[in-house]
């Protein structure tokens, strides 16, 4: 009784006049028991002409439920046929009741009949009704919204969002949503959509088979090779993997299918440069990093090319995971490039300080950054050969040469005075005294062992704030250059 009342009320919300032909003559009791606010009930029993005059002329704004115990009259004998065609008809079978409940017309009868298991659940009908717009629905859009309900109430009725839910559950080892889709008889509709939109075909379609083909085809498409699926599949996979909501499912399935698709073996024959934009499998990242390290060790890649390649990788999926490795490789390549262009010729003490503060300090800076990212990456084995070359060149081609040349100048100097470099002992008179004479407060921060290259980086950080200006100057330290003497020299 409640279903009939609800269905009738739904129809009357959309139509001023609703016809009810009780073909089997078994629902009179339900008709008589109905209570419909603001609706007049009239039984049709050889009174059609008078009823027609009343509902169309006498009470043109009143709502009516017109009940007839028996089947609908033949077309030529039906005095109310024009009114029936212009308004609504209530049918008391289950499918019709559900259609009425959802606000859908008789053209959707086959949709309900083909998917009875879906509509038997009140919860699914309730969620479907929330998504429906009866005025614009087609049989396809209704089925798509039914798929979305099977996936989850919050799923948008789009193929990509439905697929995301199914792939998430596949990665978790769950099949709740897909079982609901299958029980509801919507699996054929799903495979049809996947064939139409992505080109997926299989004699025995399944979630897992589709997912494997998705990774396989997208790998080929990204390499510019032929694939079963269309480019639309690659668009979907890229969007799915880049979503923070679904990244765990992507990583799980990517790891599983890399083995199934023998990606490691395939990568062995590929030039790493052809993989610059690929990020479907973590093995691709590992292949690229190994190749970059080998290229640097063999000196077959320039610093410029290395930096450009790393920049192209910076927007890929696994870059953040291996960011410290990339940074270590980048700084190593820059270190080799700067060292190659550097000649340690020093004409005087002041010339040596000038060259160091203009250029040579970068070698210390690049070395420090390489060591930092090497340790942060925890990829000591991967970077072992590169680290040996960096250490060897830093020690023998830089420190040793610079120190030998510098020591020779020290040995030939009569006094520790480097014009025009300011001496450390003159710090107060050179930098601070002028402010104090004007009664301006000055804060002096003293940091023991702050290397010049770190000062240069600190200057850049300050300037990047956009609120301050900063200048960097060098001074000649007091000798011997130990902490107590150096700090004391900076004081008034």
Give the long-range contacts of residues 444-448, CB within 8 A, separation 24 or more. 444/490, 446/487, 446/490, 448/483, 448/486, 448/487
Per-residue pLDDT tens for 98-138? 887 888 887 898 999 899 999 989 899 999 999 999 889 99
Average pLDDT of the chain is 92
Q: State pTM to two decimals.
A: 0.78
Please report the pLDDT score of residue 370 as a whole number.
98
Can you spell out the DSSP letters for 84-136?
Answer: HHHSEEE--SHHHHHHHHHT--GGGHHHHHHTHHHHT-HHHHHHHHHH--TTT
Give the long-range contacts of residues 122-125, CB within 8 A, separation 24 or more. 124/149, 124/150, 125/98, 125/101
pLDDT band at 355 (very low <50, low <70, confident <90, very high): very high
Question: Residue 260 pLDDT > 90, yes or no?
Answer: yes
Tokens of 236: 């979907």
Paired with 19 in beta bridges are: 66, 89
Can you spell out the DSSP letters for 414-483?
Answer: SSS--TTSPBGGGHIIIIIHHHHHTT--------TT--HHHHHHHHHHHHHTSS--------BPPSS--H
Question: Residue 314 pLDDT > 70, yes or no?
Answer: yes
Percentage of the chain exceeding pLDDT 70: 99
pLDDT band at 246 (very low <50, low <70, confident <90, very high): very high
């Amino acid at each position: 009784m409640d279903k009939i009342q609800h269905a009738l009320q739904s129809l009357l919300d959309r139509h001023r006049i609703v016809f009810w032909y009780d073909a089997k003559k078994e629902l009179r009791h339900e008709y008589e028991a109905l209570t419909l606010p603001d609706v007049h009930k009239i039984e049709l029993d050889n009174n059609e002409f008078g009823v027609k005059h009343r509902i169309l002329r006498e009470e043109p704004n009143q709502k009516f439920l017109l009940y007839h115990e028996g089947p609908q009259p033949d077309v030529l004998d039906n005095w109310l046929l024009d009114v029936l065609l212009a308004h609504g008809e209530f049918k008391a079978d289950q499918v019709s009741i559900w259609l009425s409940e959802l606000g859908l017309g008789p053209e959707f009868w086959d949709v309900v009949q083909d998917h009875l298991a879906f509509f038997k659940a009140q919860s699914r009908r309730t969620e479907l009704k929330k998504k429906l717009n009866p005025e614009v629905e087609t049989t396809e859009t209704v089925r798509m919204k039914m798929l979305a309900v099977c996936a989850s109430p919050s799923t948008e009725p789009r193929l990509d969002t439905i697929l995301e839910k199914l792939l998430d559950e596949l990665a978790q080892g769950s099949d709740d949503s897909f079982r609901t889709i299958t029980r509801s008889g919507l699996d054929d509709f799903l495979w049809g959509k996947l064939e139409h939109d992505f080109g997926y075909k299989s004699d025995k379609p399944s979630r897992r088979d589709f997912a494997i083909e998705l990774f396989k085809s997208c790998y080929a498409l990204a390499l510019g090779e032929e694939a079963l699926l269309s480019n639309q599949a690659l668009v979907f996979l890229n969007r799915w993997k880049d979503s923070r909501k679904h990244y765990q499912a992507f990583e799980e399935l990517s790891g599983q299918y890399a083995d199934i698709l023998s990606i490691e073996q395939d990568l062995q024959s590929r030039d790493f440069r052809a993989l610059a934009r690929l990020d479907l499998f973590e093995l691709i990242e590992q292949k690229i990093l190994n190749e970059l390290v080998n290229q640097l060790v063999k000196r077959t890649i320039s610093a410029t090319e290395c930096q450009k390649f790393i920049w192209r990788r910076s927007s890929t999926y696994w870059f953040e995971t291996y960011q410290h490795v990339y940074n270590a490789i980048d700084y190593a390549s820059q270190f080799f490039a700067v060292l190659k262009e550097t000649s340690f010729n020093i004409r005087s003490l002041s010339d040596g300080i000038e060259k160091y503060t203009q250029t040579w300090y970068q070698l210390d800076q690049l070395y420090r950054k390489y060591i930092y990212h090497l340790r942060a990456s925890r990829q000591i084995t991967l970077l072992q050969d590169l680290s040996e070359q960096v250490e060897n060149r830093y020690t023998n081609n830089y420190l040793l040469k610079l120190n030998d040349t510098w020591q020779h100048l020290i040995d030939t100097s009569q006094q520790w005075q480097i014009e025009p470099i300011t001496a450390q002992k003159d710090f107060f008179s050179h930098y601070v005294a002028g402010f104090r004479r004007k009664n301006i407060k000055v804060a002096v921060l003293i940091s023991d062992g702050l290397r010049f290259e770190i000062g240069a980086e600190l200057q850049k950080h300050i300037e990047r704030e956009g609120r301050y200006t900063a200048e960097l100057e060098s001074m000649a330290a007091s000798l011997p250059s130990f902490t107590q003497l150096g700090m004391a020299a900076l004081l008034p």
